[in-house]
Chain A
Amino acid sequence: MTDPLIVARNLRKEYGDLVAVDDVSFEVAPGGSLGIVGESGSGKTTVAKMLVGLERPTAGRIEIAGTDCSAPAKGWRERSRRAQSLQIVFQDPYSSLDPRQSVGDALREVLVVAGLGRDRTQARARELVDLVGMPERVLGSRPSALSGGQRQRVAIARALATEPRCVILDESVAALDVSIQAQILNLLADIRERTGVAYILVSHDLAVVRHVTDDVIVMRYGAIVERGQTGTVLDDPQHPYTQLLRESVPRPGWVPGAGATT
């Protein structure tokens, strides 16, 4: 059996009296895919932020590719090494790109930080926009000249720049129009086939989670309430909260309000 790429053990995050994440453990295999499902306040985004070192766990351990990453990286050398293992793409492509920076500059910046020689960054930036299905000329565009879907492609290209072994997708397709969301989901599947990258998908959208992931954890109030293979959990949810989530998804013949409270 191959060693897991990412191991989270008994993660806990407190903000004062609030326990945002409570005893969360999971593993992601190389090339694997894990869905983290939950609503506002479930702690799912806090888990993602601890994985990429934007938040320090109050307790617990994070190992990425065999290295202890429980505390945020110290120094640029360690930060760039971690960036080659794990990247994150956020929900809002409007706020995650610097409006003053061209697409090409945004990509080259990441490549330089990752230690690529300046002579090679131009070629690699071209490869990256091609990988996310965009024409080369967008390298000269600023984010304001791009649509939401195009900006999210750029954010994905930037996350892939360092050839990470895993990308966290934090509601990365939630704000997109249905037709564009389908394009981006297909792009993510193509990229996985070509690069063998693993995904951690943080999402409230069960259909998207089903489409992208093999395994899933369902979180509520900071704790995992159910886990298993995504298909099994969604077809036959065991925990009442997972059942409620499943029942809340509009579909043919659906009646709103089954078992729900505000």
Chain B
Amino acid sequence: MEDLTLDVPVDSGHGRILHGVDLTVEAGSAIGIVGESGSGKSMTVRTVAALLPPGASTSGRVSFDGDQVADMSSDRLRRYRSSQVAMIFQDPRAAINPVRKVGNFLVENAVTNLGWSRARAREKAIDVLREVGIADPERRLNAFPSELSGGLLQRVMIASTLLYEPELLLADEPTTALDVTTQSAVMALIDRLRRERGMAMVFVTHDLELAAAVCDTIHVMYAGRIVEKIPASELHERSRHPYTRALLDARPRLDGRESRLRAIPGQPLSGLEDVTGCAFAARCPFAVDICRTDEPPVVAVETGEIRCHRAHDRLWGDS
């Protein structure tokens, strides 16, 4: 993804929600996109899958293995969305037809999209259900979505992506609606399948710690812009963007208790809002005059990239 902008229809015409997003996913790698509401993290992955709201328009380039996604015919796009990229969402119940049984969902999709015979599709469906840890898969094929827990249903969604052996998994908050113990199990499953199959992943979440645990690189988004790219292993010790640091510091600790948290003042900004200068400046403790007047450039630093006027200042004693 190079210099991507995304405009969507709003009451007053068009509003820009992504402002020049660059994203590179190497085959087999996992990148995390982290941010708060309105940061544009979900729209970024939807753009990769060419799943945009009606009336949306983009500039910049999205290419997959050399092919421009924008130039794909509808046939080519269907093939792209099944055998090359697959997407799983936060709410599996919204992504599955509630009156179709699990088996019907898995088998019909494979028959339609892959041209398999019904018998072969059924056999493969049983295989992938078993692979995602669902006991008694033959029986589960006859279940309606409402008969399965959120965790089991998300496993079914993951199984459905495995039918196609995609090269890239787009996961948009896939565990946010699940209990913590279920989240842990489902994340372990995604992580294992991804590694075994050499599948790349773009993982969208609001949870920095979760992203850092399962991704190679972290991209922090704010107001429709990527503000920091950093290897996950460096996130805690060496992140440098004031927003990344503020996010890490704002969470309460599991291993101790402070009387007050280091909250970030103000509201998260969405990409739609008009800003002069840096979008984070109004909430940033380090903002100086230029931050309020000029859009910050992307600056290469030892750990990756940050979008900050003060990239080379020692804002923290340790970095």
User: Which of B155, B210, B254, B264 lies in contact with A262, CB distance below 8 A?
Assistant: B155
With A248-B181, A249-B254, A262-B185 already in contact, the answer to whether A256 and B213 are too (CB < 8 A) is yes
Q: Does B183 contact A (CB under 8 A)?
A: yes
Number of B interface residues, CB 8 Å? 51
With A179-B36, A249-B180 already in contact, the answer to whether A210 and B252 are too (CB < 8 A) is yes
On chain B, the residues within 8 Å of A147 by CB distance are 267
Q: Does B209 contact A (CB under 8 A)?
A: yes
Q: Does A40 contact B (CB under 8 A)?
A: yes
Q: Are B181 and A244 closer than 8 Å at their CB atoms? A: yes
Q: Are A231 and B36 closer than 8 Å at their CB atoms? A: no
The distance in angstroms between the C-alpha atoms of A60 and B283, with both chains bound, is: 50
Contact with B along A221-237 (1 / 0, CB 8 A): 00000000001001100
Q: Are B252 and A177 closer than 8 Å at their CB atoms? A: no
Interface centre among B149, B206, B209, B265 (most CB of A within 10 A): B209
On chain B, the residues within 8 Å of A182 by CB distance are 250-252, 261-264
With both beta carbons as reference points, the residue of chain B lying nearest to A206 in the complex is identified as: B254
Q: Does B188 contact A (CB under 8 A)?
A: yes
On chain B, the residues within 8 Å of A211 by CB distance are 252-253, 257-258, 261
With A182-B251, A211-B252 already in contact, the answer to whether A262 and B213 are too (CB < 8 A) is no
6 contacts between A and B (CB under 8 A): A179-B247, A182-B262, A183-B265, A234-B255, A260-B182, A260-B188
Q: Are A210 and B180 closer than 8 Å at their CB atoms? A: no
Q: Are A248 and B186 closer than 8 Å at their CB atoms? A: no
Minimum Cβ distance to chain B for residue A256 (Å): 4
Q: Does B214 contact A (CB under 8 A)?
A: yes
Q: Does B314 contact A (CB under 8 A)?
A: no
Q: Does A39 contact B (CB under 8 A)?
A: yes
Q: Does A255 contact B (CB under 8 A)?
A: yes
Minimum Cβ distance to chain A for residue B150 (Å): 8
Q: Does A24 contact B (CB under 8 A)?
A: no
Sample of 6 further A-B pairs with CB below 8 A, known A182-B252, A250-B210 = A39-B182, A185-B252, A185-B263, A186-B260, A250-B207, A262-B185
Q: Does A178 contact B (CB under 8 A)?
A: yes
Q: Does A257 contact B (CB under 8 A)?
A: yes
The distance in angstroms between the C-alpha atoms of A255 and B152, with both chains bound, is: 21
Q: Are A262 and B187 closer than 8 Å at their CB atoms? A: no
Q: Are A40 and B179 closer than 8 Å at their CB atoms? A: yes
On chain B, the residues within 8 Å of A186 by CB distance are 260-261, 263
Q: Are A183 and B263 closer than 8 Å at their CB atoms? A: yes
The distance in angstroms between the C-alpha atoms of A184 and B183, with both chains bound, is: 25
Q: Does B268 contact A (CB under 8 A)?
A: yes
Contact with A along B237-261 (1 / 0, CB 8 A): 0000000001100111111111111
The distance in angstroms between the C-alpha atoms of A149 and B267, with both chains bound, is: 8
Q: Does B108 contact A (CB under 8 A)?
A: no
A interface secondary structure, majority: helix
Q: Does A204 contact B (CB under 8 A)?
A: yes
On chain B, the residues within 8 Å of A181 by CB distance are 250-251
Q: Does B92 contact A (CB under 8 A)?
A: no
Q: Which residues 176-222 of B have a CB within 8 angstroms of A?
A: 179-189, 191-192, 206-210, 212-214
Minimum Cβ distance to chain A for residue B179 (Å): 4
Q: Are B247 and A178 closer than 8 Å at their CB atoms? A: yes
On chain A, the residues within 8 Å of B255 by CB distance are 234-235
Q: Does A258 contact B (CB under 8 A)?
A: yes
Q: Are A177 and B37 closer than 8 Å at their CB atoms? A: yes
With A256-B213, A260-B184, A262-B151 already in contact, the answer to whether A179 and B252 are too (CB < 8 A) is no
With both beta carbons as reference points, the residue of chain A lying nearest to B259 in the complex is identified as: A189
Interface centre among B181, B207, B247, B267 (most CB of A within 10 A): B181
With A247-B184, A258-B184, A262-B151 already in contact, the answer to whether A178 and B209 are too (CB < 8 A) is no
Q: Are B180 and A204 closer than 8 Å at their CB atoms? A: yes
Minimum Cβ distance to chain A for residue B316 (Å): 17
Minimum Cβ distance to chain A for residue B261 (Å): 4
